Amino acid sequence: MATHLLKRRRGLRICLCLSSLLILVAVIMILIFTIFKPKDPSVFVHPVDLKHFQVLSPNSRGAPLALVITIQNPNYASFKHRNCSGYLKYGDTIIAGIPLEQRSYPARSTTDVTTTADIQTHKLIKDPNFLSAVEGGVFNMTSEAKLSGKVRMANIIRLKAKVYLSCTISLNISAFQTTSTCISKLKLWSLISKGTLH
């Protein structure tokens, strides 16, 4: 009789523990998607050192364009992505890759990322609209990238994540000025098991 009672108590404790765990997970998920609702990051692209940027440099098939990408993370969770790359397009032609090394973005922070796009000038010259754009002093490009990684909150919750970036960049060669407009989208899904994406 005593053994049967002990088994019933043990089963009740296990049941209570599982129920408490499920309630805790539910509360955390509610907090994540309400109070801590994920927000899209703000992104700004700044080509730099334009005085040394020679898009029509003689005897060269490439023109390195230094970039500073500012990413503002408004969330209460940090974000970390793997090595990845984006690209620059002029019209419908991809003219450069943009390498993006693995990096972490702390919660509620602003981070500057430096990189270089090696623009393939021979592809630009083939475009019939490019030379007239250069003569006018301004040419426009678009850029896209996808950052795959994870978000982490308080070292407890870890979710797979992707950030999609799309930017329009306008270079005023004669005035050495640039303007950019970026749209970003953060997507979250399944929980990550321990040991994934350190």
Q: In this predicted model, which residue has the larger pLDDT, 43 or 17?
A: 43
Q: In this predicted model, which residue has the larger pLDDT, 103 or 14?
A: 103
Strand 93-100 and strand 138-153: pairing? unpaired
Q: Which CATH architecture has domain 38-191?
A: Sandwich (2.60)
**pLDDT higher than 80, residue 10:** no
Q: In this predicted model, which residue has the larger pLDDT, 125 or 87?
A: 87
CA distances from 181 to 17, 105, 140, 168 (A): 50, 21, 11, 5
**Which pLDDT score, from 0 to 100, does residue 113 have?**
95
179-193 residue pLDDT tens: 999 999 999 876 554
Q: What are φ and ψ of residue 155, in 5° steps?
A: 55, 20
Q: Where are the domains of the chain?
A: 1-35, 38-191
pTM more than 0.85: no
Cα 181 from chain centroid? Answer: 15
**Which pLDDT score, from 0 to 100, does residue 195 have?**
44
91-142 residue pLDDT tens: 999 999 999 999 999 999 999 999 999 999 888 888 888 888 878 888 899 9
Q: How many Å apart are CA 190 and CA 56, to the nearest integer?
A: 48
Q: Radius of gyration (Cα) for the chain, nearest Å?
A: 25
